[in-house]
Each structure stands twice: as C-alpha cells, then as structure tokens.
Amino acid sequence: MSKFYNEIAEKYDYIFPLSPAHQTFFASELCGKTVLDVGAATGNLTAHLLSQGYKVTAIDLSERLIAEAAKKGIVVQPLNMLDIDQLPIFDNIVCIGNTLPHLDSKTSVQLFLQKAYGQLAQKGKLILQIVNFQKYFAQKKGNYLGNLPLIANDKVKFERFYYLNDSDKIIFKTILDDTIENEELLQPIFANELTDWLIKIGFKNLKLYGNFKKDPFEAEKSMTLIVSAEK
C-alpha cells in the first residue's frame, strides 16, 4: 500500500479534496470532542476538524502522505490501523477514503472493527466509507469489474480500474497522469456483511448512506457506502 500512496502523495489533494459535502456530513454526524482519523493521508479532514474545535489524532502508514500533511502543519502518526488499541479512548473514530479494504482479509477487517469498538467511548460514533463493491461485482465481465469515475482537472488525471483475481481479491489498477501505473490488492467488503459484523460486535443505530450528501444507500446503484454506527 505504501508504494501506491507514496507515488501519488504530491497529487493527493488534487485527486481527493475535502468537499463541502464532507464538511456538512461530519458537522451533523460527530459527537463529543475527540476524533481518531484512521488513514488520514495528507490531513485534510484532520485540518478541518481541528478548525472546528475537535481534538484529533491522525494516523497513516505512508511516509510521503505523512510528509505532505506535515507541510500543512498537520501531525499524522505512523501507526497501523490494527494497532489503534495502543491509543486512548475517542468519542469518534473515522475511517474514510476506502481505507478499510486495504486490510489483507475479512478477518483483519473484523479485527479492526472490534478494536474500534473497544476504543470508543460509550455512545461514541464509528464512521466508515468504502466503495460499494456490490455494484462492481454485479457488472462483472470475465475478471473485469469496471472502472471508477475518471478524476481529471488542470492539475491531475487519475484513472482507476477494478479486476478480480483468482483469490477473489480486487486488483486495483491506477494510472496517474498517463505515466505512473500501480496495482494494489483490495479486500472486497459488501454492505450486508459489514453491517452484520458491526451488529455482532455490539454497534447499534446503524445508518447507511450512498454518499456524503446522505442520499439513501442503494446496493445496485450507489458508488459509495458510508456507515455511521454508535457504540
């Protein structure tokens, strides 16, 4: 994972800017005062939440992304998301940007969710955002699952494609500015299994959205799955 993110670090903010919809969403969903930002990347969400008065701990594994955050005065700790039980208790744990599927197995995903539950204060909130993989599996042709929308502006061109390998992992192929190609393996996670895991762990008041504007999640249509759950 670090090679992929290290190579796109300088263009990351042009590819994945923090939108007004993100800001409105978190203003309505967060509780309390403390936040753990898991997979914080260049620290855009962290910076926004700090500006809103939250006390934020940010973690990531990419040295280059952490360095880009530091240029903006944002401290991102180099910590694996499976080690969050080394940290204090938080009112909110946020894991967006399709970070969760970078874990190597469904067992690891469930372990993270269990640890997140343990690191939340009572009535604390867990907010997750992943790609809606069910939509891509539904349109599978051979081993090709389709492409994510092209990201293109005057600063960057970023192409993204999904393929399925023999182990039922997703090969995430990217092309940056027509020159830098990368492949990452992703663990597909479906809405029904994610919600089942959360409920079994003890989370309640689950809310599912199809985007940060809070449109309803539709398994066959939504590009994104966002889950808000309470301890």
CA distance 136 to 169: 13
Residue identified by tokens 């940007």 is: 97
Residues paired with 141 in a beta bridge? 144
Cβ atoms of residues 26 and 194 within 8 Å: no
Sequence ranges of the chain with CATH classification 3.40.50.150: 3-132+189-230
Q: Structurally, what CATH architecture does the domain formed by 3-132+189-230 represent?
A: 3-Layer(aba) Sandwich (3.40)
Report CA torsion sign: 7, 11, 19, 135: negative
**pTM of the predicted model as reported, rounded to 2 decimal places:** 0.95
pLDDT in tens, the chain (231 residues): 567 777 788 888 888 989 999 999 999 999 999 999 999 999 999 999 999 999 999 999 999 999 999 999 999 999 999 999 999 999 999 999 999 999 999 999 999 999 999 999 999 999 999 999 999 999 999 999 999 999 999 999 999 999 999 999 999 999 999 998 999 999 999 999 999 999 999 999 999 999 999 999 999 999 999 999 999
d(CA 90, CA 167): 36
The residue type of 216 is P
